[in-house]
């Protein structure tokens, strides 16, 4: 069970929005965002100041089938880049003045990396075109690793958490999860990922359809836990666990791109009560993202043709969210500013 947003605070925030010196609705989605955050944070003054980023990384056995434009080595190489402050999300975290926690929940890396938390059930998932990606125990471990990361990142309090991921091959896993849960063909949700050409995308779709058929996940009415176990990734399972853990702690989540949204779809199927706590940062350029967002009735904040991952889209949406709060909290009312309301 997850708690429900505060309807009293939502009503108070809606009323305040109606009194601020602007025509009603003129700040569009920013008004809805501030009202929604007020309800989630159960406060009259919503905030996005304390917004730790948690980035989960894992490797994928399915890369053996030639489904990514990059080799699996890049996942661990990027962990070093995150730790050294040179990745896109590292720059955003510095500029936004938020902490970045990087958690290795299943990369191929053998050695510990300074600045990266290692909490992994196994090095890489299995190739889901041959075997289930993980065992029940490995799935449970990764799911709980997500929960542990939320606990660590929010001990000092958090207004929300930003969730991101890194894992070569994970758009294949995310598309497989989406196709299984939305009961559609892989071709409806598959995309270029890090940069496949059209032939590569067709091959990727065939690999996914064959995997779904092998695991009996192409027949609708599938268990979301079984979908995660058979075709998921450790970072995707950790993301789903983190979302449910955050919702249980009344902490809103800023959801990043295609992969984090696929994790959100799984989390919402596992525990529908977590849905109100998930805020979608952007519409990714990855082709399947629109369909998954629509299935979640999600209206993302930005649409900037991003397709990087790492939590970078969510980082870019954070200033909009912070400014929506500042406007809500600081604008004068018609009465305070002695401004006339609409013509009666
Ligand atoms: O966030 C997105 O929408 C997104 C779209 C395409 C690719 N990515 C990133 O690219 C990697 C996966 O791409 P691929 O082609 O290896 O499956 C992974 O590290 C993701 O963070 C991320
Ligand atoms: C370089 C690189 C950086 C990334 N960040 C997230 N996914 C990525 C994939 C690649 C290939």
Query: How much is the pLDDT for 303?
Result: 98
Cα 4 to ligand 1 centroid, rounded to whole Å:
32
Instruction: Collect the ranges in the chain with pLDDT lower than 50.
Output: none
Residues with CB under 6 A from ligand 2: 70, 74, 78, 166, 194, 308-310
Query: How much is the pLDDT for 249?
Result: 98
The C-alpha atoms of residue 233 and residue 128 are separated, in whole angstroms, by 10
Counting ligands in written order, the one closest to the CA of 306 is 1
Residues with CB under 6 A from ligand 1: 68-70, 165-172, 193-194, 256-259, 284, 286, 307-310
The C-alpha atoms of residue 293 and residue 283 are separated, in whole angstroms, by 8
Query: How much is the pLDDT for 1?
Result: 86
Kindly compute the dihedral angle of the four CA atoms of residues 138, 139, 144, 146, in this order, to the nearest 10 degrees. Answer: 110
Query: How much is the pLDDT for 219?
Result: 86
Domains and CATH numbers, the chain: 53-320 (3.40.50.10210)
Query: How much is the pLDDT for 220?
Result: 82
Task: Output phi, psi for 212, to 5 deg.
Answer: -65, -40
Comparing CA positions, the residue from 192, 160, 161, 184 lying closest to residue 305 is: 192
**What would the pLDDT profile of 268-278 be if each residue is shown by its tens digit?**
999 999 999 99
Q: Which atom of ligand 1 is nearest to the CA of 289?
A: 3
Q: How far is CA 140 from CA 10, 68, 130, 170, in A?
A: 35, 27, 21, 19
The C-alpha atoms of residue 83 and residue 316 are separated, in whole angstroms, by 20
Query: How much is the pLDDT for 268?
Result: 98
Cα 260 to ligand 1 centroid, rounded to whole Å:
10
Cα 38 to ligand 1 centroid, rounded to whole Å:
32
The C-alpha atoms of residue 90 and residue 115 are separated, in whole angstroms, by 12
């Amino acid at each position: 069970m997850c708690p429900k947003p505060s309807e009293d605070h939502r009503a108070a925030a809606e009323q305040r929005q109606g009194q601020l010196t602007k025509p009603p609705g003129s700040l569009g989605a920013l008004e809805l965002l501030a009202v929604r955050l007020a309800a989630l944070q159960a406060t009259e003054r919503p905030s996005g100041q304390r917004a730790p980023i948690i980035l989960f990384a894992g490797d994928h056995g399915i890369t053996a089938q030639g489904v990514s434009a990059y080799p699996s080595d890049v996942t661990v190489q990027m962990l070093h880049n995150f730790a050294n402050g040179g990745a896109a999300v590292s720059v955003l975290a510095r500029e936004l003045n938020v902490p970045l926690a990087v958690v290795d929940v299943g990369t191929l890396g053998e050695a510990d990396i300074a600045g990266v938390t290692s909490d992994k059930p196994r090095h890489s998932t299995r190739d889901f075109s041959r075997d289930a990606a993980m065992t029940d125990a490995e799935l449970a471990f990764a799911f709980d690793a997500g929960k542990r990361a939320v606990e660590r990142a929010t001990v000092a309090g958090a207004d929300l958490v930003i969730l991101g991921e890194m894992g070569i091959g994970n758009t294949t896993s995310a598309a497989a999860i989406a196709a299984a849960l939305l009961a559609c063909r892989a071709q409806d949700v598959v995309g270029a990922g890090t940069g496949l050409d059209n032939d590569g995308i067709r091959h990727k779709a065939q690999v996914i359809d064959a995997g779904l058929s092998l695991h009996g996940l192409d027949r609708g009415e599938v268990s979301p836990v079984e979908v995660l176990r058979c075709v998921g990734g450790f970072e995707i399972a950790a993301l789903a666990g983190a979302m449910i853990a955050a919702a249980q702690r009344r902490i809103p989540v800023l959801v990043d791109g295609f992969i984090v949204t696929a994790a959100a779809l799984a989390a919402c199927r596992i525990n529908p009560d977590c849905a109100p706590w998930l805020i979608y940062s952007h519409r990714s350029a990855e082709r399947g993202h629109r369909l998954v967002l629509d299935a979640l009735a999600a209206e993302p904040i930005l649409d900037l043709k991003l397709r990087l991952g790492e939590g970078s889209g969510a980082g870019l949406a954070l200033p909009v969210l912070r400014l929506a709060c500042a406007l809500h909290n600081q604008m004068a009312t018609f009465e305070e500013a002695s401004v006339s309301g609409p013509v009666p």
